[in-house]
Structure 1
Amino acid sequence: MKISINPAGFEAEHLSALNRSFGNWGEAGRLRWCFARTSSPLPADVVVAELNGTAIAGTGISYRRLMTSSGRTMLAGIFTAAWSFPIKSARGAYMHVMAEATRRIAERGGAVALGFMPQNKSSGHQLLRAGAMAATTAYVSMSGRSHGERSSGLKPCLLTSALVEELFRRANKRAEGGLKFVYSDIDEFVDQFLERHHPVQVFVDATDGYFIFERLPQAMNLLAALPADRAAHPWRQHFAEAAQLATSQKCGLLAYASNEVVVSEAVAAGLVTKPGFMTVTIANPLALSAALTAPADEDAAASACLAMLRVLHVENGDRM
């Protein structure tokens, strides 16, 4: 078995593998958006396992910055669109790919490797058996027919430069006191949240809270809910308003809940939650320790990392 990083000329085969593994994953434009953007902290990587010249497993790595409650930052690598063919010759290939991807993250200065997946995915359980830590998450959804005919209180916004700057500021202000994704400049934020493969729309509620949605063919994908300064972050109300908007648009709703509190709020809002988990593997203990409030040995760093993971604020726009 041969493990390669960024093999030349692999783009078409990578896209074919993703569509074979996930169904209708997407086309070349989505592949470029995921793996060819230049505004990210580091260019994405692709790790591939080959057997007798045939690709049998692989993953992308997207690089993002995380900020701790103390204001320190660390680089994280996110396993992005990992795949493995269900054939006997591919057995074990997935974990070889993940081990090499984790090594690559450490090589590029990353402290941790993150993975987001449903609980029923065997790949996630393989990571846990290999020593990854995990926290509870949920994929939140609503079909376009489940809430009847209701008008929405959200109003569409004209995306001016001033509004973009405000959205950027609020995105970096989220989850004060917790662990969160942050974006170093407005270009990085725009590429992640506003200039996506599918059209993006911004709406405002009655309290000047903003909602960023990506319009998918069959659903409104809630990328981020950004309340006004000093306003509470009532997730139940945010989910309810997003559901009303999706109903008024006669389509479904997709969102993400990254901790148990937000999951319970989605359920209270009447939405469907599919259990998931967020895994974290320590790629570089020294880099992780440097991001903590005080130097720590590897065991203490792991314990602190797990505690932070349980309060990590993630929305759909952060994950991919």
Structure 2
Amino acid sequence: MRAVVQDEYGEAHDVLRVAEIDQPVIAADEVLVRVHAAGVDRGAWHLMAGMPYPVRMATGLGKPKTPVRGRDLAGRVEAVGAAVTTLSPGDEVFGIGEGSFAEFARAKAAKLVARPENLTPVQAAALPISGLTALQSVRDRAKVQAGQKVLVIGASGGVGAFAVQVAKARGAHVTGLCSTAKVDLVRSLGADEVLDYTKDPIGGPYDVIIDTGGHRTLRTLRRALTPRGHAVIVGSETGGRILGGFQRALWAPLMSLFISQKLLGQVSAERQEDLQELATLAATGTIFAPIDRTYPLEETAAAIQQMQDGKVRGKVVVVI
């Protein structure tokens, strides 16, 4: 099969190449998926680059243990493992697998759900990881309620775009913060207010802040919160090779022990029931995946680079 592979850690254009490799072998609880589309999320870069360094504890210290990146996928089940009873060959699915920048990928049956008929493979492939992170940040960590004022920092990105929509679906008054070029996109997501971070102050106070990749200090976030407000820190791309921007998420719960506000880090859980909720929300039109651009498999490196450069409006997807 054709796949985008890497032999060493580094940047996309330096280490990724298209090659012919064997199809993956599935375990008893896994299925083989013919990949139609594969979403590009921030984690794809971290795993490819091996950054921050603690990532390599799982992926391989000197070089990647497995050559194919990509986890978001939508496609058709080709074969099922001996223990799989919920899926059959021919089923159209989406979810999270391993090595989705390829013609075939393996995935645990428990991390896949049926693709709604009104969603294209491209739309479905953009949902899983970013959508799960947004859903769990808004619903579970921040516990957003109707009538609350919510600020989404990075509202035009993959997680941020879904966070705006999920918060709106829960009845919140949502303000999105983004760059000048992306203001129209955030408005189209249903945000009640849109702030341009190059010229508009954050304002507030907000009951909830979902920070999907900003670099503002915890002190700055606290000043924009109500006295008992919640801030959920999804990530940041600053912080170097060791922590890679995760230091705010590490400090936040410690600070929360001594203040009335709640400052929380967020790492998404890959739960099938939440994938099904995303499928339902998308099928009913409550949320949608804003697709900036699609790339053929041969241009996967360019897709990852566009995301890394911060030029993506919503999501980019690789089409196989």
- TM above 0.5, yes or no, is no
The normalised TM-score by structure 1 is 0.25
User: Which structure would you say has the larger RCO, counting Cα contacts within 8 Å and 6 or more residues apart?
Assistant: 1
